Structure 1
Amino acid sequence: MIGIVMAGGKGTRMNLDNEKLLLEYKKPIVLHVIDSLKNSNCFSKIVAVTSPNSPKTKKLLEENNIEIFDTSGIGYVEDLNLALQKFNDSILVTSGDMPLLDKKVIQTIVNQYDPQKIWTSVLVTDKLLTSIGIQSNYSITHNEQKCHFTGISLINSKKINSLENLEENYIILDDKRIALNLNTKQDYDLLSTA
């Protein structure tokens, strides 16, 4: 299995002077995410997907000998699609802005991988997000409860011909380690209470 970390976004919602993935939580957040994947011992390789939107992030990753897959940075879906075409394998994809991620939760997610399913998105319930003071704009109803996307998916890219009409499966995993993505300054402020 290959671990892919999406690290090419602009982070415009944060309204920062610096790049979002360089925010510190003990170390730059993107390195924390990559180390969580490395420490899980679940992956044959870990790749960071970068773009011209995040040149300082790319430089930091290169300085830390992280394999880079560079994209045009048009958008998250387009960048991920390019990466999936390149790596014909079982894949865990995660956002690079998840400061509470750790090896145990990665192992828990990877253990639920089913290669028969092309795409499985990991969700958390609205109840969990509300309990820790997080809001999300990306919700769906699954198993009769309001849920939110975490930014983590398990993908069998060998079975993908096109991202159109792809059947998506879902796993609900209510765990605060995957609930917090840094999308706003309020999310970053919540880190100090985590």
Structure 2
Amino acid sequence: MIVIMAGGRSSRMGREKPILRVGGVPMLLRVYYEAEKAGETVVALSRNTPKTRELCLREGVPFFDTPGKGYVEDIKWLLCEFGPFVSVSSDLPFVTTGDIAAVKQAFDGETNLTGVLPLWLVPRDLKPLTYNGYAIVGLNAVGTRGESFFELSNPLLALNVNTPEELRLANRIARLVGR
């Protein structure tokens, strides 16, 4: 199963990120349309995202509620409720079906996979979270043991939209790449 994480507080943005538009399309729908081509996909919501719930209801996107206590807590809850899954953040507007399918194919159902990009692939305008020479991206596989990095190659995965400036950048990129 593929779970789109869309229940966060969006504190840096100041409003619900999943409903914000990139290239004229709400980010959640951009991610959902790519994810559903890779397999069964559901959206994880919480009490923090009432407008995102409305969007899911209006568009017929399957969802369920998490406790909404925080990202790590919600991931643990999801693992207990549903078992291992592929996780993608709703604020990755340029994730592709191929990116998600690659993580899904590499996932053994047990070992956690953290999606990463080599820093040399990251466009210089982006400032992603980095660790050990990699940019950490919001595409992962959640299992029950260990952890491995899974190297991806889509440079636009480094753009995780968390701030108004990143939203403006995402819209400029969407115009440039026609997506």
Q: Please indicate, yes or no, whether the TM-score normalized by the shorter chain is above 0.5.
A: yes
What letter matches 1:139 in structure 2? T
* Counterpart check, 1:68 vs 2:63: yes
Q: CA deviation at 1:125?
A: 2.3
Aligned to 2:27: 29
Q: CA deviation at 1:126?
A: 2.6
Distance across 2 between alignment mates of 1:183 and 1:46: 23
Counterpart among 110, 115, 121 of residue 114 in structure 2: 121
Structure 1 residues 135 and 22, CA, compared in 2 at 3 Å: closer, same or farther? Answer: same
**SS of the residue 1:94 aligns to:** strand
Aligned residues: 172
**Aligned pairs for 1:58-97 within 5 A:** 58-88=53-83, 90-97=84-91
**Aligned pairs for 1:1-40 within 5 A:** 2-15=1-14, 18-25=15-22, 26-40=24-38
**SS of the residue 1:13 aligns to:** coil
Distance across 1 between alignment mates of 2:124 and 2:37: 26
**SS of the residue 1:192 aligns to:** helix
Distance across 2 between alignment mates of 1:20 and 1:122: 21
Provide the alpha-carbon RMSD of the alignment: 1.8
* Counterpart check, 1:178 vs 2:176: no
* Counterpart check, 1:134 vs 2:113: no
Kindly report structure 1 stretches of 4+ aligned residues shifted beyond 3 Å.
Answer: none
TM superposition score normalised by structure 2: 0.87
Distance across 2 between alignment mates of 1:21 and 1:11: 9
Which digits, 9 at most, give the CA deviation of each residue in 1:127-150, with x for residues without a partner?
333x341112x3221xxxx11210
Aligned to 2:177: none
TM superposition score normalised by structure 1: 0.81
What letter matches 1:24 in structure 2? R
Q: CA deviation at 1:110?
A: 2.3
Aligned to 1:105: 99
Distance across 1 between alignment mates of 2:117 and 2:6: 22
* Counterpart check, 1:149 vs 2:136: yes
Q: CA deviation at 1:73?
A: 1.3
What letter matches 2:36 in structure 1? K
Distance across 1 between alignment mates of 2:77 and 2:66: 7
**SS of the residue 1:5 aligns to:** strand
